[in-house]
Structure 1
Amino acid sequence: MSTLKRRNFLRAAVLGAGVTAFGNTFTPSALANPAQNGPSPYGPLQPADANGIQLPAGFTSRIVARSRQKVAGYTWHDAPDGGAVFADGSGWIYVSNSEITPGGGASALKFDANGTITGAYRVLADTRQNCAGGATPWQTWLSCEEIDRGYVYECDPWGTKAAIRRPAMGQFKHEAAAADPVRKAVYLTEDVSDGCFYRFLPTTWGDLSAGKLQVLRAGSATSGSFTWADVPDVDGSPTATRNQVSGAKRFNGGEGLHYANDTAWFTTKGDNRLWQLNLVNNTYELAYDDSLVNPGTPPLTGVDNVTGTASGDLFVAEDGGNMEICVITPNDVVAPFLRINGQSGSEICGPAFTPAGNRLYFSSQRGTTGSSSGGITYEVTGPFRS
């Protein structure tokens, strides 16, 4: 894709409930090539710190929670996965899913303005295989079940209101969600090898109890135009939602999803790709493909959760690979931002930035043990680009 396109479409700030888009005056240009190897804007990775994390100079890490260990009097959940940050006065809240069955759900860590943990608690309980999800502009967390005919649950990051199941958003193997306040839509990925990409159009924006589920239709090429079609039977029985609409485009294992400035970005793990949907002119293209990196070895493999920053950078976490979070810059350079050593049996999940953009939260789902009981949740602080 062109540098101009990246600069105009990928500028967002984490304000309150996840990512909020700035205005956009871009006129769509011709499609171009996916991101390529290059030097990181943050410089090379330094030797591993005491937590086993390699970071650029000027950045530090700390462990904020461990599975089955107490944090602020609360026992942190197993297999931490997708997450998001919500503003809370001068502080913030990090919400994290638990990708286990049974018992999944989601928990939260509450921080004051100095980054001190002041509370931890459950926001969703007794669900199944809660993988990724997404934040809404009205400050709720959408937690997605990654099982056949799974549900989306809408959760209160403060833990004071009961979570609500949202069946109108479809029953399928949900992965991630991202809200688009311009088109009043919530986009959804599906984690199966012949999965689809969906959008949910609430009858009333801000209320997910009713609405229309649609699936993206397009050709088999890696770029082109797309349309939307209604899914007739959103409960996915007896026919799966992905098989109800002729011409629905297939994606190989939909994973992380990020919305910013009239664009949806999502990853597919089966082919190690990052896709871009231009929601102004209804076109799609590849933003990254590890098989197209030249020269050198692809820095990003095992693509999974994705988030963005105000600078226009994308941060993509690896499921496996060499346990990195890689940055993709507005000028189409992809490079490692951090690497976790000694945890090859794990995956990196739930990257999310604070409202100020100077702290990044994420988890190693299985930590050093390779087991769901060994999850570790981290914070990285430093001079992120703004």
Structure 2
Amino acid sequence: MERRTILRTAVVGAGAAAFSGALWQNAFAATAQPGPGPYGNLLAADGNGIQLPAGFTSRIIARSGQRVAGTSYTWHWAPDGGACFPAGNGWIYVSNSEIPLVGGAGAVRFNADGTIASAYRILSGTNVNCAGGATPWGTWLSCEEVPLGRVFETWPEGGRAGEERTRMGRFKHEAAACDPDRRVVYLTEDEGDGCFYRFVPDTWGDLRTGRVQVLCGPAGTLSGPVTWQDIPDRDGIPTPTRRQVGAALHFDGGEGCWYDNGVCYFTTKGDNRVWAYDAVNQQIDLAYDAARIPGGAAPLTGVDNITGAGSGDLYVAEDGGNMEINVITPDGVVAPFLRILGQAESEITGPAFTPDGTRLYFSSQRGTSGASAGSGGITYEVRGPFRS
């Protein structure tokens, strides 16, 4: 099918600056290509083993199995998807735990100066909580990455138990992204033949009831018009949701998901792609495809979690690759923003900016140990002159 670029105006985070649709349109007339990053080259690794551009610094916020500094809370194993929420004069970073049977999610609350105020559990007794997404009403959707997995709505400030939202579909959930304009929630599925879904709640802000739809189009579509069809049986028994609609498009390992003023970006790790769904015009396109980088020199592989910044830049974490977070800029350049050394058996998870865009949080799920259970997980903060 003829390629059409679909990226539009981007507005990310509190006080974000907007890029015109024309700028996005020009940027992705072709998929993003390697080039000089907006912050320059990476410097030698700091004391935490992280290579950063000039002007940026890192600190360790928490380690799996150890108490978060100044609190009585023991940080969970295998930290995964995360997000930041405003809280009083400070903010909260929430993080999932990708552990079987006792996964759940935890949170760290920060004061206005960045010091840690408290840490605590916000979800318990769930199974392999991988990624998720923030809602416009301030809750965190924590998703189970298992067959017939569930979505749980949680409250970052704590004090209220997480609630199951099974009407959002039972499948191998990965990430979620809310679209307040169309009042839907987009959902990715981590299967080799997974689908891209959206949940249409009966009432916006109430995820207890609604219908699940799947993205449809001609098989093998990389660019062009798409449609949505209802899933007949959201519970996925006996037929999995991804196999219920013949026209459904299939994606190789759905991972991160990020909505940005008319465009929902989602990643697929199996083929190292970043997709863009134009919700305004109901079209799909590719923002990044490692296979289209000449000479096999793709800087971004193991494509996984994704988030956005006020500049319109996308930040994409690697599961494997060479343990980088890469930035994709509005002018179509992809380049490493940071690299973690000495943790080749881990993956980077949970990238999220503070509401003011000055700090970036993320985790190395297995840290230096590489332990499959995630006992060596490390959660970091990076500060510096991020573009706004």
TM-score range, shorter chain: over 0.9
Alignment of 1:116-195 (within 5 A): 116-195=115-194
Provide the C-alpha distance between the structure 2 equivalents of 1:190 and 1:163, rounded to a whole number of angstroms. Answer: 21
For 1:50-92, what per-residue CA distance to the aligned partner results, in whole angstroms no more than 9, with x for missing partners? 0000000000000000000001110000000000000001100
Q: Which residue of 2 aligns with 1:380?
A: 382
Distance 1:14 1:243, change over 3 A: farther
| Regions of 4+ moved over 4 Å | 20-31
Aligned to 2:247: 247
Residue pair 2:258, 2:265 contacting (<8 A) in 1 also: yes
Alpha-carbon shift at residue 297 of structure 1 (Å):
1.1
Q: Which amino acid aligns with 2:75?
A: W
1 CA distance for matches of 2:29 and 2:40? 26
Q: Which amino acid aligns with 1:213?
A: V
Q: Does 1:43 align with 2:43?
A: no
SS of residue in 1 equivalent to 2:291: helix
Quote the Cα distance in structure 2 between the aligned partners of 1:47 and 1:28.
Answer: 33
> Within 2, Cα distance between the matches of 1:160 and 1:268?
35
Which of these residues, 66, 69, 77, is aligned with residue 66 of structure 2? 69
- Per-residue CA deviations over 1:287-324 (Å, capped at 9, x if unaligned) read 00111013661100000000001101000000010000
Greater alpha carbon shift after TM alignment, 277-286 vs 31-40: 31-40
Q: Give the counterpart of 1:34 among 31, 36, 48.
A: 31
Alignment RMSD (CA, Å): 2.1
Pair 56,21 (structure 1): closer, same or farther in 2 beyond 3 Å: closer
Counterpart of 2:48, as a letter, is N
- Distance in 1 between residues matched to 2:140 and 2:20, nearest whole Å: 26
Other structure's SS at 1:43 match: coil
Identity %: 62
Question: What is the letter of the counterpart of residue 376 of structure 1?
Answer: I
Distance 1:269 1:21 in 2: 29
Equivalent residues of 1:37, 1:294 under 8 A apart = no
Q: How many residues align?
A: 381
Q: Distance in 1 between matches of 2:175 and 2:243?
A: 20
Deviation at 1:359, TM superposition (A): 0.1
Structure 1 position 259 matched with structure 2 position 259: yes
1:358 equivalent to 2:358? Answer yes
Deviation track 1:244-269 (CA, whole Å, cap 9, x = no partner) reads 11110000000000000100000000
State the SS of the aligned residue for 2:171: coil
2:17 touches 2:310 (CA, 8 Å); kept in 1?
A: no
Q: CA deviation at 1:143?
A: 0.2
Q: Is the 8 A contact 2:10 2:20 kept in 1?
A: no
What stretches of structure 2 of length at least 5 have no aligned partner?
none
Q: Within 1, Cα distance between the matches of 2:387 and 2:21?
A: 22
Deviation at 1:140, TM superposition (A): 0.2
Q: Does 1:57 align with 2:54?
A: yes
TM superposition score normalised by structure 1: 0.95
215-224 or 334-343, which moves further after superposition?
215-224
Cα shift readout 1:143-167 (whole Å, capped 9, x = no counterpart): 0000000000000001111100001
Could you say what secondary structure the match of 1:259 adopts? strand
1:373 match: secondary structure: coil
Q: Distance in 2 between matches of 1:199 and 1:370?
A: 34
Instruction: For structure 1, list consecutive stretches of 5 or more residues without a partner in the other structure.
Output: none
Q: Give the Cα separation in 2 of the matches to 1:359 and 1:91.
A: 12
The residue type paired with residue 262 of structure 1 is: G
Distance 2:353 2:90 in 1: 13
